[in-house]
Structure 1
Amino acid sequence: MRLNLRQIEAFRFVHQTGSMTVAGEFMGVSQPAISRLIRDLEIDIGFKLFDRTRGGLTPTADATEFYREVQRSFYGLDRLGRAAEELRRRRKGELRIAANVATSFYLLPDAIQRFHQDWPDIKISMHACASPEVLELVAMRQHDMGIAVVPSTVTGVHRSALPVLDAVCILPGTHPLAAKRLIHPQDLDGEPLLLISDYSLTHQHVFRSLEDAGIDINVILESTFSAPICNLVGQNLGISILEPLTARAYAGPNLVVRKYAPAIPVELEVIHPINRPLSDHAMAFIEIVRAQLASFKN
């Protein structure tokens, strides 16, 4: 049996209000039209829905049970409506991005500028935070996509690799090691080091390379983010090995950037919620970021 949605809607309003006249006002039709919808529905389903009394309309026992099922169906329609609204919002012109701090400050501004030229009507919302928080925000569907360094064991998000950059060594411009083109762990024996905090994947790789070299590791400062480290290196406080986005942004007479060996990959990835496909404009943004990273690497 295939029921008429208009009839079901009329039944729902009549059951809720106890009046065909009021139900008609809700639906924008006359009382006789509501009466016909209810009569036709009773014919289709094969049982009576309302008893007509002087006090108005009283739903039958069958009608009350039927109403419960109708309500469940309308709750489902409400969910569909909310899902459609979310899809409409995404297609209409908003892109919510969460990205780690280095990417947010030193990569995405240029990407956003290029993206805006092609998609001028798309509003971008950007949230800068540490990589673990990026992962959490995207997994909870609070953002459409994220860009971060993500552990290989992570589940619950769809992930896509971006061009890999290598960590670099940064030194004060006046440091004797600044004359070298390539810095090795042995060069850093006993040198004061400023490193990213130890929960970072980059820190773990950097520290392992130093340990494997068997040198005296002299860490005098750890920081959650790269920018304060760059400032302090520029003030001749020490040496660091970190991601290249922030390092190159701070490069100048007081801070020089050198290659570091063994190579330590900084593997940024794009993540987005599982079962939520990316919009066309989100995919276009990712391609811009991908191209920028590829040129940055060169």
Structure 2
Amino acid sequence: MRLRHIEVFHAIMQAGSVSGAAQLLHISQPAVTKVLQHAELQLGLQLFDRVRGKLVPTPEAQRLFIETEKLNRDLVAIRRLAAQLRSGGEELLRVLATPALGASVLPAAVTAWAKAFPAGRCQLATHHTREIVSSLLLGEADLGLSLQDPRHPGIHAEVLASGDMMALCPRGSPESRQDGALRLADLKSELIAMAEDDPLGHQLANAFAAQDLHPVPRISVQTYQLARSLVESGLGLSIVDPFTAAGCVAAGAAGERGPVVVRRVEPAISVPLVLLVPASRPLTQAGRRFVKLLTDSTRASLARLA
């Protein structure tokens, strides 16, 4: 018997009639009759006796029903799972992001996802890119978000959005009183720098060196969120990724002037938002929908910097 035969056979056994089986399966009565006839033809035996317009199971049908009960339950479970996968259902989505992205782009994306999929479940964690790659390869996460492409053969990387590094200037500082792009040579405030092993910090150091500038920061930090907090406290100026900067713009757009003025940096240093997934395990439907919401919310956030 084929799977479709078993499905129709069980529906008839449960409903006791062709019309009842058609209602259970959401198909027409002729379709049920056709499948039943084909099943009996393939088996070479009659499954039901037609008695005064009713279907009465034969002894052979009773035995088949017992033997195929578990398989039919499995089919029902598979259909239920397929429906959940199609809708986003109750599938668990495991997302990792670098600390900067966890504080900047994830909140808006997860908020939109939670509204769109009220039955969905999501686990969030922040790690550095190296740990994200390791977790993806071990099957401990479904997708990762980073500010760099790790260029690993086991990881598929895709740029979802990009922007330029921005200067966060404490309000009242010399840099905050001017408009337009801020040249690196014109920095006067105390520079709060990223640690030397940070990839974007390394790019920024190269940009300074290209202009024969060699600042010696007194304070360096490991995360852009900490850099933002120090700027907000008035300690100094910092140059951060565009996603962290967009959060400052959004925070100051609602009412009173915020403690930070955001300016573009010249020369421009482009920063991507990179989606990381295992090359051997494509994203599920729920994962693809999450990425779409993330991309839309991030691009809208970056547009505020224009």
TM-score normalized by the length of structure 1: 0.65
Other structure's SS at 1:215 match: coil
Q: 1:122 is matched with which residue: 120, 123, 145?
A: 120
The amino acid that maps onto 1:235 is: S
Q: Secondary structure at the match of 1:162?
A: strand
* Deviations, residues 31-57 of structure 1 (Å, cap 9, x unaligned): xxxxxxxxxxxxxxxxxxxxxxxxxxx
1:244 CA displacement: 2.5
Shift of 1:245: 2.4
Alignment-mate amino acid for residue 126 of structure 1 = L
Aligned counterparts of 1:150 and 1:273: Cα–Cα separation in 2: 15
Deviation at 1:273, TM superposition (A): 1.2
> Which 5+ residue runs of structure 2 have no aligned equivalent?
1-77, 253-257
Partner residue in 2 for 1:55? none
Runs of 4+ in 1 over 6 A off after TM superposition: none
Change (3 A) 1:178 1:203: same
Is residue 259 of structure 2 the alignment partner of residue 260 of structure 1? no
Alpha-carbon RMSD across the aligned residues, in angstroms, is: 2.2
Residue of structure 1 aligned with 2:298, choices 281, 293, 296: 293
Counterpart of 1:107 (choices 105, 108, 113) is: 105
Q: 1:211/1:186 Cα in 2 relative to 1: closer, same or farther (>3 Å)?
A: same
Equivalent runs, 1:121-200 vs 2, <5 Å: 121-151=119-149, 153-181=151-179, 182-188=181-187, 191-200=189-198
* Separation in 2, partners of 1:151, 1:116: 28
1:224-239 aligned at under 5 Å gives the runs 224-239=222-237
- Give the secondary-structure state (helix, strand or coil) at the position aligned to 1:293: helix
| Contact 1:151–1:201, Cα closer than 8 Å, also in 2 | no
User: Which structure 1 residue ranges, 5 or more long, are not aligned?
Assistant: 1-83
Aligned-residue identity in percent: 21
Alpha-carbon distance, 1:129 to partner: 2.0
Matched position secondary structure for 1:158: strand
2:276 counterpart of 1:271: yes
Number of equivalent positions: 211
1:110 is paired with a residue of what secondary structure?
helix
Question: Partners of 1:115 and 1:230 in 2: how far apart?
Answer: 27
After TM superposition, the structure 1 stretch with the greater mean CA deviation from structure 2, 200-209 or 145-154, is 145-154
Alpha-carbon distance, 1:191 to partner: 4.3
Separation of aligned partners in 2, 1:191 and 1:155 = 43
Residue identity matched to 1:143: A
* Distance change >3 Å, CA 162–CA 177, structure 1 → 2: same
Query: Structure 1 CA distance, aligned partners of 2:143 and 2:212?
Result: 40
- TM-score (structure 2 length as normaliser): 0.64
